[in-house]
Amino acid sequence: MNLVIADLVQRFTDPRTGRLATVLDGLELRTGEIGALVLVGPSGGGKSTLLRILAGLDVPTAGSVAFDGVPLPRDEAALRGYRRTMGTVFQAYNLFPHLTAMENLVLPLVHVHGLSRGQAVERVREPLERFQLAAHAHKRPAELSGGQKQRIAILRALVVRPRRLLLDEPTSALDPDMKAEVLEMIGELRAAGTEFILVTHEMAFARRAADEIAFIADGRVAFHGSPAEFFAATADPRVRGFLARTLGT
């Protein structure tokens, strides 16, 4: 994928004060031809807001975004079609609590993507087996571990066969063992050629999985480059401070 973002601005009205808050402030980014972009940076810097725009869930106040030379649509009808081509995973799982894991996977295939129930069930069988989740297919979310729930959430995004996966801190609420399960799954998808954009604080995984890393702070891209360039960017005080906090150095 190739991503070009020009002068991207996003403002929201603060419900507490009624004032406009600027979350993205003229953000600029131009990637090479890459398979994996990782977004890192301090909390509140604008990463999740940017990911929601890239997913077609929010429309920016100003600026433009283009994937592979195709501008992101801005009208709701076109955005609905665009969203069907993306797989988006957030840290809160967003699984339906009254449905089994299997039904959580089947539901969007039937009701959003127009497959028959038989076709949908057939499509999800292989990935459930591949990621050692078949034994849990008939459990409801309350019966699953955090790692299992997040892997089901990733599978739900994957089985629609999206053009790319967008993941927002998919391991932030997990303990180390569960975190390792989810990162292993994302690593396998990456090795298989799945394109993704990932927001994470897992620096070791970012170093291993990313083609490019964008460091976002104060609503702008403060640094952008390869993993090697990013981890060597100790001259930049914001990057240096962030790495010291996340790596404990």
pLDDT digit string (tens) for 13-29? 888 888 899 999 999 99
Could you report the per-residue pLDDT of 72-130, keeping only the tens digit for each?
Answer: 999 999 999 999 899 999 877 789 999 999 999 999 999 988 999 999 999 999 999 98
Mark whether 101 and 55 lie in a shared domain: no
Single out the residue of 123, 118, 116 nearest to residue 160, CA to CA: 123
Domain boundary among 118, 133, 160: 160
Backbone angles phi, psi at 78, to 5 degrees: -70, -35
Distance, in Å, from the CA atom of 39 to the CA atom of 15, rounded to the nearest integer, reads 27
Mean pLDDT for all residues in the chain: 91
Q: What's the predicted TM-score (pTM) here?
A: 0.90
Domain CATH number, residue 205: 3.40.50.300
**pLDDT more than 70, % of the chain:** 99
Same domain for 119 and 185: no
How many domains does the chain contain in total?
2
- What are the Cα distances from residue 2, in Å, to 13, 24, 211, 217? 32, 21, 12, 22
Which region among 47-51, 75-79, 93-97, 169-173 has the lowest average model confidence (pLDDT)? 169-173
pLDDT at residue number 65: 98
User: Whole domain around residue 146: which residue ranges?
Assistant: 97-160
200 & 147 share domain:
no
